[in-house]
Structure 1
Amino acid sequence: AAEVKPAAAEVKPGAGKHIVLLAGDEEYRSEEALPALGRILQRQGFKCNVCFSAEEDGSINPDKGDSLTNPAALDSADAIIMLLRFRRWNEETLARFDAAVKRGIPVIALRTSTHAFAGIPAESAYAAWNWNKDGGWGKKVLGESWVSHWGRHKHEATRGVVEAANAGHAILSGVKDVFGTTDVYEAAPPADATVLMRGQVLAGMTPDSPPLETLKATKDKVEQGINDPMMPIAWTRVVKNEAGGENKIFCTTMGAATDITNEGLRRMIVNAVHWGLGTEAPAEMDLSLPEGYEPTTYGFKGYRKDLKVADHELGR
């Protein structure tokens, strides 16, 4: 009889790759969104660690802008997913982040990461990262800093519209019906960016809300239709870093904990990880949200007071 060989063990696409997710913003509940994204990525074999802003006792506190738990995870990161806002980490933590980027790893940046740093002291080697210093780290690396709420905050939601010229991009594979209740940010990424999706400002907060029709002036005082042209909400860049290498960058101005209830957005973020790492995104992916995921609505001082870092440790 022919020998029956045991089936080869499935090799998952993320095997051997370490993703570090940096959660640290006061408004959009990164402390809920990033653990959920980490759990989704773990299904594909990625090792995932989430780092938080937290108190000494392990209570997650997004308002603690000088805190990042487990910064040593950055030393072995193969990719970074970040949702940061106005962080002012200590010099050692900033140096670890800087070293990770200089290794040439991909960066997947969500929502307020365009203005990730603020209040870094003038004497720091990283003072130029502050968002209000010529756009800071966000402008230099991601291609944009904080500009303005283009849609009316908490009143005008976002519908994602694929950029037709780049519809075949790998990050957009299988992506459809992107919607989020966060508003469109004003953004003007540089000419070297590849725009993947634009944000249609809606006259309401539901997926079936019609597009808003009004005029609005940009930061350069140019009046235009609020959706003509629509603002970019997702783009890629490849940027040279100070160590002489290159980083593949994906930035989306969506990404609140409520936004990622949208499967199209989750797929785009997961696809971006694979694009950044050069791995093959599976044709069939389990993108379902972790059991019991009920995100808190975005807003300042609205974070859950009962969350502990230990509740979200994913590095197992």
Structure 2
Amino acid sequence: MRRFLVALVALTLAATLFSNGSGFAADSPLVYQGNDGIGSGKHIVFLAGDHEYRSEEALPALARILAKRHGFKCTVLFNIDPETGYITPGNNNMPHTDAVNSADLLVFGLRFQNFPAEQMQPIADYIKRGGPVVGTRTSTHAFKIPAKSPFAKFDFQYKGEEMKGGFGRQVLGETWAGHYGRNHVMSTRLEIVPENAEHPVLRGVENPWVEAGGYWTDPEANSVVLANAQPLQGMTQDSPIADDKKPCPGAWVRTYKGENGSEGRVFTTTYCASEDIRNDGFRRMMINGCLWALGMEDAITGELNTDFVGPYDPSTFSFGGYRKAVKPQELAGWDSPIMPARDEDAASEAKPVAKKKKNAAE
């Protein structure tokens, strides 16, 4: 009888933990666990937290490819509403950053974040040790942190000489410098720099084109520009060049130094919006960039499988245009859609809940 009761308690606990159907507790981070492959034994952590470009869609899609196709363990962290548990892009709250402590690579998809100290500390420690980094789109201005904060030097406008320009300038190679082409009117062709065409990140990359408009950039001097961004006057790959906009760097590699003098490899691109990774050439560049940052350039071939894993139906990026009432565990497994569709009632579910709690507090 005693054994029966113990077993019953264990089953009840398991049912509670896994009742969401995702295979992990509701408050656990989203993890894609690869098996065999070139990435076996390595851990990549993705930080998805921007307001506009839908990193909460693009980064899980890339994580699935690296996990399923190539054997990496990939953890994806999101901005989360602490009351509802829903993904809420741009809200300065990202649970489970302790996962960064075991990361071999950190992939940034952040914008203007100011995390609580306990969430920011693992990221700061990672940069301090000179860990490899991949930075996408708005991560040039990943952090917006008050001067009184102990993490102020990560701010995109930091003026101190020890980290001028903050995380963006000193790690990724550039901070926020301004738009260079109108979103949803002007797409961007990434033109491979001929003298760097043999770089490992560019192996197998053909005709990279992205739907996001341009950013102006002038990367740090030790950056090696792999592709220049040429704004186009239209939203198709064959659109004419925007005559008034010369190309500027759109993807580059560099290294930065941790506080102990160790060097970390960095791949940076000012693209990687939700719709950008539908382009085969750009998606391959992203996967190659992750491998190069990890020091795995010998494993990069033009034949690496970079096909999507499971359904990928990206939102058209916009401020506030994220899919509402979605929890990270709904993206678990290889076959769940990124992102799940919502009817009008489900999509509005988060707003009344938040409003009700706010009124109760008043």
Q: What TM-score, normalized to structure 1?
A: 0.88
Name the aligned partner's letter for residue 262 of structure 1.
Answer: N
Name the aligned partner's letter for residue 125 of structure 2.
Answer: A
Give 1:160-199 correspondences, 5 Å limit.
160-199=190-229
Give the Cα–Cα distance (whole angstroms) in 1 for the partners of residues 128 and 205 of structure 2: 30
The answer to whether the 8 A contact 1:130-1:137 is kept is: yes
In structure 1, the residue matched to 2:58 is 33
- Residues 174-220 of structure 1 show CA distances to partners (whole Å, capped at 9, x for unaligned) of 00111111011000002210000001110111111011112xxxxxx
Give the Cα–Cα distance (whole angstroms) in 2 for the partners of residues 281 and 11 of structure 1: 16
In structure 2, the residue matched to 1:46 is 72
Give the Cα–Cα distance (whole angstroms) in 2 for the partners of residues 103 and 250 of structure 1: 17
Q: 2:234 aligns with which of 181, 200, 204?
A: 204
Give the Cα–Cα distance (whole angstroms) in 2 for the partners of residues 38 and 289 of structure 1: 10
Per-residue deviation at 1:109? Answer: 0.5
Q: 2:300 aligns with which of 254, 264, 281?
A: 281
In structure 2, the residue matched to 1:17 is 42
Gap runs ≥5 in structure 2: 1-34, 160-164, 335-362
Aligned-residue identity in percent: 43
Give the Cα–Cα distance (whole angstroms) in 2 for the partners of residues 49 and 160 of structure 1: 29
Q: 1:117 to 1:267 in 2, by over 3 A?
A: same
Name the aligned partner's letter for residue 45 of structure 2.
Answer: V
Give the Cα–Cα distance (whole angstroms) in 2 for the partners of residues 287 and 143 of structure 1: 26
In structure 2, the residue matched to 1:271 is 288
Give the Cα–Cα distance (whole angstroms) in 2 for the partners of residues 314 and 274 of structure 1: 23
Q: Secondary structure at the match of 1:81?
A: strand
Gap runs ≥5 in structure 1: 1-9, 215-225
In structure 1, the residue matched to 2:317 is 298
Give the Cα–Cα distance (whole angstroms) in 1 for the partners of residues 217 and 283 of structure 2: 21
Determine which structure has more spread, i.e. the larger CA radius of gyration. 2
Q: What TM-score, normalized to structure 2?
A: 0.78
The answer to whether the 8 A contact 2:190-2:230 is kept is: yes
Q: Secondary structure at the match of 2:313?
A: coil
Q: Which moved more, 1:275-284 or 1:49-58?
A: 275-284
Q: 1:251 to 1:183 in 2, by over 3 A?
A: same
In structure 1, the residue matched to 2:87 is 60
Per-residue deviation at 1:153? Answer: 2.7
Name the aligned partner's letter for residue 183 of structure 2.
Answer: H
Q: CA RMSD in A?
A: 1.6
In structure 1, the residue matched to 2:278 is 261
Give the Cα–Cα distance (whole angstroms) in 2 for the partners of residues 133 and 53 of structure 1: 23
The answer to whether the 8 A contact 2:203-2:301 is kept is: no
Q: Secondary structure at the match of 2:215?
A: coil
Give the Cα–Cα distance (whole angstroms) in 1 for the partners of residues 308 and 71 of structure 2: 16
Give the Cα–Cα distance (whole angstroms) in 2 for the partners of residues 11 and 303 of structure 1: 34
In structure 2, the residue matched to 1:238 is 255
Give the Cα–Cα distance (whole angstroms) in 1 for the partners of residues 211 and 283 of structure 2: 15
Q: Secondary structure at the match of 1:82?
A: strand
Give the Cα–Cα distance (whole angstroms) in 2 for the partners of residues 313 and 69 of structure 1: 17
Alignment coverage as a number of residue pairs:
291
Give the Cα–Cα distance (whole angstroms) in 2 for the partners of residues 312 and 80 of structure 1: 20
Q: Secondary structure at the match of 1:191?
A: coil
Give the Cα–Cα distance (whole angstroms) in 2 for the partners of residues 142 and 63 of structure 1: 20
Q: 1:75 aligns with which of 97, 101, 107?
A: 101
Per-residue deviation at 1:101? Answer: 2.1
Name the aligned partner's letter for residue 304 of structure 1.
Answer: R
Name the aligned partner's letter for residue 89 of structure 2.
Answer: P
The answer to whether the 8 A contact 1:107-1:247 is kept is: yes
The answer to whether the 8 A contact 1:197-1:235 is kept is: yes
Q: Indicate the structure with greater helix content.
A: 2
